[in-house]
Structure 1
Amino acid sequence: MMKKILSLLIVLLIITGCAPDEVLTVDPETYESLSVDELEEKLIDSRVDKLEGQVFYNIFPKSFADSNGDNRGDIEGITLSLDYLDNLGIKGLWLNPIHPSPTYHRYDVTDYLAVDPELGTIDDFVELIEQAHEREMVVIMDMVLNHSSSSHPWFQKAINGEEPYVDYYRIVKDEDFTSDLYPNREGWYHLENKGIWYYAAFWSEMPEFNADSVELRIEFRKILKYWLDLGVDGFRYDAAYHLYDSAEAEIRTPTMQRNQQFWLEMKDYVKSINPEAYVVAEVWSDSKTVQAYSSGFDSLFNFDFATKVLEGVNRGQPLEILTSILNHQRAMTERNPNFLDAIFLSNHDQPRVMTVFGNDRNKMNLASSILLTMPGNPYIYYGEELGYLGNKPDEQIREPFLWGEGSRVTTPLWEPIKFNTNTADVQAQQQDSNSLYHHYRSLIHIRHENEALLKGEMSFLNISSNVLAYERTSENQRMVALHNFSNQRFVFDFNHEGRVVFQTKAGSFFNKQVVIEPYESILIEVND
Structure 2
Amino acid sequence: MINRQAVRHRPLSEFAYAPAEYCLTIRLQAARNNLKRCTLFYGDRVDPHPQVRFRPQNMEKVASDDYFDYYETTINSEYDRVCYYFSLESAKETLYLYADIMAKTIPTERSEFYQYPFIRREEISDVPAWLKKAVVYNIFPDSFADSARNLSCQAQSFFDQKTGQTLHSRLGGTIRGIIANIDYITELGFNCLYLNPIFTAAEYHRYDLLDYYHVSPNLGTDADFRELVQAVHARGMHIIIDGVFNHCSWYFFAFDDVVKNGENSRYKDWFYNLQFPVRRPESGEKPQYSCFAYEPKMPKLNSSNPEVRNYFLDVCRYWIEEFDVDGWRLDVANELDKDFWRAFRKTAKKAKSDSVLIAEIWEDAACWLQGDMFDSTMNYDFRRHCRDFFASGKIDAAEFNSRLIKMNWRYPFPIVQGQLNLLDSHDVSRFRSLCICPERFYLAEVFLFTAVGVPCVFYGDELGVQGEDEYSWRGAMPWDKAIIDDRNFFQHLIRIRQNNECLVSGSFQVLDYSPAGNFVFARARGRKKVVVALNVSACVNEQFVNLPSEPPIFSYGYNQDEHTMMPYAYAIWEIEEDE
Bin the TM-score by the shorter chain.
Answer: 0.7 to 0.9
Q: Distance in 2 between matches of 1:129 and 1:237?
A: 19
Which one of 307, 331, 336 corresponds to residue 215 of structure 1? 307
2:555–2:570 CA contact under 8 A, matched in 1: yes
Q: Distance in 2 between matches of 1:370 and 1:357?
A: 15
* 1:379 maps to 2:456: yes
Checking the alignment, whether the CA contact within 8 Å between 2:378 and 2:420 is kept in structure 1 is yes
1:110 matched to 2:210: yes
- Indicate the percent of aligned positions where both proteins have the same amino acid: 29
Task: Determine which structure has greater relative contact order: mean sequence separation of CA pairs < 8 Å that are 6+ residues apart, divided by chain length.
Answer: 1
Query: Which aligned pairs between 1:90-489 and structure 2 lie closer than 5 A?
Result: 90-159=190-259, 160=261, 161=263, 164-173=266-275, 189-190=287-288, 197-229=289-321, 230-243=323-336, 259-285=337-363, 287=364, 290-295=365-370, 296-313=373-390, 314-315=392-393, 317-333=396-412, 340-358=418-436, 360-392=437-469, 394-404=470-480, 423-424=483-484, 429=485, 436-465=486-515, 466-489=517-540
2:552 alignment partner in structure 1:
500
SS at match of 2:214: coil
Aligned equivalents of 1:41 and 1:151: distance in 2? 44
Q: How much does 1:281 deviate?
A: 1.1
* Secondary structure, aligned partner of 1:100: strand
CA distance in 1, matches of 2:559, 2:353: 46
**Distance apart, 1:504 and its partner CA:** 2.0
- The question of whether the paired residues in 2 share the 8 Å contact of 1:199 and 1:208 is answered with yes
Q: Which residue of the partner structure matches residue 253 of structure 1?
A: none
Cα drift, residue 369 of structure 1:
0.9
- What is the Cα deviation at residue 444 of structure 1? 1.0
Amino acid at match of 1:170: Y
CA–CA distance in 2 between the matches of 1:321 and 1:135? 38
User: 1:260 & 1:476 partners in 2: Cα distance?
Assistant: 42
- Rate the CA distance shift 1:105–1:337 in 2: closer, same or farther, 3 A: closer
Q: C-alpha separation between the residues in 2 aligned to 1:449 and 1:462? A: 25
Report the secondary structure of 1:147's partner residue.
coil
Aligned residue in 2 for 1:516? 565
Note the C-alpha offset of 1:494: 1.6
Q: Distance in 2 between matches of 1:514 and 1:472?
A: 20
Are residues 200 and 41 of structure 1, via their aligned partners in 2, closer, same or farther at CA, if it must alter by over 3 Å? farther
Note the alpha carbon deviations across 1:59-102, whole angstroms, 9 max, x for none. 01011011297541100110111111101110111101111111
Q: Residue 184 of structure 2 corresponds to which residue in structure 1?
A: 84
CA offset digits 1:2-28 (Å, max 9, x no partner) = xxxxxxxxxxxxxxxxxxxxxxxxxxx
Partner of 2:163: none
2:509 counterpart letter in structure 1: S
Unaligned runs of 5+ in 2: 1-119, 155-171, 278-284
Q: Over alpha carbons, which structure has the higher Rg?
A: 2
Paired letter, 1:461: L
Q: Offset of 1:326 from its aligned partner?
A: 1.8
Q: Deviations over 1:488-521 (max 9, x none)?
A: 222344275544111122x1345xx632221111
**Deviations 1:337-384 (CA, angstroms, capped at 9, x unpaired):** 5761111111111111111115x3211111111111111101101111
Distance in 2, matches of 1:83 and 1:206, equals 36
- The CA deviation string for residues 171-222 of structure 1, in whole angstroms up to 9 with x for no partner, is 44569xxxxxxxxxxx9722xxxxxx44443401100010111111110111
SS of residue paired to 2:203: coil
Question: What is the CA–CA distance in structure 1 between the aligned matches of 2:143 and 2:301, rounded to whole Å?
Answer: 29
- Maintained 8 Å contact 1:497/1:527: no
SS in 2 for 1:354: helix
Give the structure with the larger helix fraction. 1
**What SS class does the counterpart of residue 112 from structure 1 fall into?**
strand
CA distance in 1, matches of 2:566, 2:130: 36
Cα displacement string for residues 218-277 of structure 1 (whole angstroms, at most 9, x for unaligned residues): 10111011100111110100111122xxxxxxxxxxxxxxx4333232112211211100
**3-state SS in 2 of match to 1:78:** helix
The answer as to whether partners of 2:125 and 2:412 remain within 8 angstroms in 1 is no
1:433 corresponds to which residue? none
8 Å Cα contact 1:46/1:275 also seen in 2: no
Q: Secondary structure at the match of 1:504?
A: strand
Which residue does the alignment assign to 1:51? 131
Q: Which amino acid aligns with 2:461?
A: E
User: Deviations 1:137-191 (Å, cap 9, x if unpaired)?
Assistant: 111011001000001011111342455421111144569xxxxxxxxxxx9722x
CA distance in 1, matches of 2:303, 2:233: 33
Contact 2:192–2:239 under 8 Å retained in 1: yes
Give 1:476 shift: 4.7
Q: With structure 2 as the length reference, what TM-score do the two structures score?
A: 0.69
CA offsets, 1:28-68, max 9 Å, x none? xxxxxxxxxxxx98454663112214210110101101129
Q: Distance in 2 between matches of 1:173 and 1:438?
A: 56
**CA 1:198 to 1:518, structure 2 compared with 1: closer, same or farther past 3 Å?**
closer
Is this contact kept in 1: 2:508–2:524, CA < 8 A? Answer: yes
Q: What is the rounded CA distance, in whole Å, between the counterparts of 2:208 and 2:529 in structure 1? A: 46
Q: Per-residue displacement from partner, 1:277-335 (whole Å, max 9, x unpaired)?
A: 011111122x3xx222223211111111101111112217233332222212211228x
Alignment partner of 1:527 is 2:570: no
Q: Which runs of 5+ in 1 are unaligned?
A: 1-39, 176-186, 191-196, 244-258, 406-421, 430-435
Pairwise CA RMSD of aligned residues?
Answer: 2.5
Question: Letter of the aligned partner of 1:523 in structure 2?
Answer: I
Alpha-carbon distance between aligned partners in 1 of 2:340 and 2:408, rounded to the nearest angstrom: 23
Q: Secondary structure at the match of 2:242?
A: strand
CA contact (8 A) 2:376 2:415 kept: no
Partner of 2:361: helix, strand, or coil? coil
Q: Give TM-score scaled by structure 1 length.
A: 0.75
Separation in 2 of the partners of 1:174 and 1:124?
Answer: 41
C-alpha displacement of 1:441? 1.4
Residue 134 of structure 1: CA displacement?
Answer: 1.2
Whole-Å separation in 1 of the counterparts to 2:448 and 2:247: 32
Give the secondary-structure state (helix, strand or coil) at the position aligned to 2:215: coil
Distance in 2 separating the partners of 1:95 and 1:362: 29
Code of the residue aligned with 2:569 in structure 1: it is E
Matched residues in 1 for 2:141 and 2:270: separation?
29
3-state SS of paired residue (1:131): helix
Instruction: Give the partner amino acid of 1:275.
Output: S
Tell me which protein shows more strand as a share of its residues. Answer: 2
